[in-house]
Amino acid sequence: MCGIAGILNLGKEQPITPNALRRMVSIQHHRGPDESGAYIDNNIGLAHSRLSIIDLSEGTQPIHNEDKSLWIIYNGEVFNYPEIRQELVKLGHKFYTTSDTEVILHLYEEKGINCLSELNGQFAFAIWNSNSRTLFLARDRVGILPLFYTIQNKRLYFASEIKAIFCDEEIPRELDLESLDQIFTFWTTLPGKTIFNNIRELPPAHYMLISPNGITTNKYWYMNFLNNTETFYRKTDDLVNEISETLTDAVRIRLRADVPVGTYLSGGLDSSALTETVKRKFNNELRSFGIRFENKNYDEGSFQNEMVNYLGVDHSEIVISNDDIATNFEDVLWHTEKPLLRTGPIPLFLLSKLVNQSGYKVVLTGEGADEVFGGYDIFKEAKIRNFWAKNPDSKLRPLLLARLYPYIFKDDRLNQTLIAFFKSGIENPDDPFFSHNIRWKNTGKIKNFFSEQVKDSNRNYDGYSELMNLLPPSYSDWDIVTKAQFLESMIFLSNYLLSSQGDRVAMAHSVELRVPYLDHRVIELLGKVNSEIKINGLNEKHLLKKVFKDRLPASILNRWKNPYRAPIHKALLNSTMSLVKEYCSEQSLKKSGLFENVKVARLISKLEKSNSAGEFDEMALVGIISTQIIHENFIQDFQYNYSESDSFNQFFDYRSVNQKFTKVV
């Protein structure tokens, strides 16, 4: 994978300098350390930094078509490119590389924007048509790879990472307080938003056309689910076989690379199933990588070891300490480019470092299986609460919650009080956010730490209304579990799991993640299956377990699912307390003006005194510190190293003579 960046003049021709592009590429060097290239004409500058995975010798970008009227910079992988290429060759297209990049360009030449429906992969790219002076930006269906843009000073700037856009000092850097409200409610920003004012993200499954006639943004694919009456109700052998074959093919095409491909193995069902498929069907020499925790409450080592022994994979692991979490927090936030309410991305940042040091550039991961096959506790919680809603006075129905959350209901004495929490909203099962209201309401309480200025600014802002506007028309026809699946996929999967915990922390160490469970054929197939057989009773991912019934040990298939989490309380308040001293001091809080100093001090004092911390206090702690770090490193003191002597490996200069010699201050 790679990093892309560009500047397009929207009005009169303003000179675009190679240096401006070099800065943009240089700051996201980690995305593409192998080589770089650029194209400039009087209207546009395109730049690319490359992590070579397919066609190592010839795939240098930008790549052009036969008559050099079309130019592409591309971050990603299209896994079905050999098949598409064959078709294009038959149609007379001439290729000068064997890369997937050139295939996309010719497919666009052939089919225009309809090319997107044929691509199976993960991508963000820009194609420039120099004849029609039209720029085409597009992003993959579920948002595996990032693409940000801003329109300012009669220019459109775009890049794989926001920091590249900020390299132009004329771009103002300010926090978007509505986005902050979103993160402190939904755990991340809603599609299209970033934590920075006027910096937008092209949402998943969207493309943008920018031509002299104007700018249009459209959606080209929908994560669709059938209405209940139309779904497959029966778990026939045919259905299980079809899922098995589709998944196997999704893995097969994701092993296409000119470098070795490894897997992440956590010991959970999803990564175990994935690693089994690769090892047993495709690559007997497989390397796998896993995370361990010093703190046994978070460690899944026994399951991991069991799978390593069962499959005989060559496994490497890192062991994460509390200090690792604190020490790497600032670096991780430089890459996530948004505040967090969890520390989960930090171990994955360190895991990608291990992968890189092991000489690997590509790993397959199990991300997406929970969303597609129905794995999350919140789906089951919604199911139980819906069942309870039909008989709200039942004493037995809510007790199912204790089966679902044994770690919350660990003290029997508190059962009745805990049940009262989950009863909230039960009288309204038709609420579009029935499944998530409790989570979001509880999270939203941490907004109480916002300063009066922030509260005032957001007084009339309502994130729920903004979210309502993003729901598809068919949403109201879906059952409660399906609605929950959609919300998880649209919000948390795309904007956190694939981003803050996915691409961003993997590419920090030049590692590409590939996610077979999010092959669009798998998503579309499972979209037709009724949620009752995805989650059979309270048995999550029932169909995935059926597929792997004879392929994985029973202890892995039947194990209790633990959410992946990393330590917070004792990690961020470690022995040195350095993060708290630096970012939660009265002076630091005053400087950002985002949080109320007295309340933050009380929170820290409470956590310092206690041995354990509740969910609310931990979310508040991570949210406050991470927002402060983002503010310091992106708003207050944005710094980057850049040497003007860095040169592009390939540079196409199509500027007029006048522009080449225009000095830009």
Partner 1 sequence: MSRVNVVKEFIIENFLFGEGESLDLETDFFDKGIIDSTGVIELVDFLEKSFAISVDDEELIPQNLSSLQKIDVFLNKKLAQKVA
Supply the minimum distance, in Å, between the C-beta of residue 568 and partner 1. 13
Query: What burial class does residue 99 get, using C-beta atoms within 10 Å of its C-beta: 0-12 exposed, 13-18 middle, 19+ buried?
Result: buried
* Strands of the sheet with 362-364, listed across from one edge: 314-320, 287-293, 261-264, 362-364, 512-514
Round to whole Å and give the CA distance between 203 and 208: 10
Distances (CA, A) of 160 to 24, 123, 126, 501, 535: 10, 10, 11, 16, 37
Which of 417/643 has CB closer to partner 1? Answer: 417
Q: Which residues pair with 526 in a beta bridge?
A: none
- What does the binding site for partner 1 look like in residue numbers (CB under 8 A)? 408, 411-418, 420-421, 424, 441-442, 444-445, 448-449, 598-600, 602-603, 606, 614-616
Which of 372/600 has CB closer to partner 1? Answer: 600
Which of 412/637 has CB closer to partner 1? Answer: 412
Which of 84/568 has CB closer to partner 1? Answer: 568
Helix (H, G, I), strand (E, B) or coil at 150: strand
Supply the minimum distance, in Å, between the C-beta of residue 410 and partner 1. 10
Which of 234/410 has CB closer to partner 1? Answer: 410
| Closest CA relative to residue 500, chosen from 201, 177, 275 | 201
135, containing H or E segment = strand 134-139
Supply the minimum distance, in Å, between the C-beta of residue 599 and partner 1. 4
Which of 417/641 has CB closer to partner 1? Answer: 417
Supply the minimum distance, in Å, between the C-beta of residue 295 and partner 1. 18
Which of 411/550 has CB closer to partner 1? Answer: 411
Running DSSP on this structure, what letter comes out for residue 267? S
Which of 362/607 has CB closer to partner 1? Answer: 607
Round to whole Å and give the CA distance between 648 and 650: 5
**Amino acid identity at 81:** Y
Supply the minimum distance, in Å, between the C-beta of residue 468 and partner 1. 21
208, containing H or E segment = strand 206-211
Q: Please, which residues have CB within 8 angstroms of residue 33's CB and are 6 or more apart in sequence?
A: 49, 51, 510
Which of 172/614 has CB closer to partner 1? Answer: 614
Supply the minimum distance, in Å, between the C-beta of residue 159 and partner 1. 39
Supply the minimum distance, in Å, between the C-beta of residue 416 and partner 1. 4
Q: Which residues pair with 35 in a beta bridge?
A: 50
Tell me phi and psi for residue 28, to 5 degrees: -115, 35
Supply the minimum distance, in Å, between the C-beta of residue 401 and partner 1. 11
| Closest CA relative to residue 532, chosen from 475, 480, 492, 477 | 480
Helix (H, G, I), strand (E, B) or coil at 589: helix
Supply the minimum distance, in Å, between the C-beta of residue 623 and partner 1. 13
* Dihedral angle, C-alpha 526, 146, 444, 475, nearest 10 °: -30
Which of 226/419 has CB closer to partner 1? Answer: 419
Supply the minimum distance, in Å, between the C-beta of residue 422 and partner 1. 9
Q: Is-contact 499 489, C-beta < 8 A? A: no
Reported as half-sphere exposure (CB side, CA atoms, 13 A), residue 173 has a value of 19
| Closest CA relative to residue 165, chosen from 36, 31, 5, 53 | 5
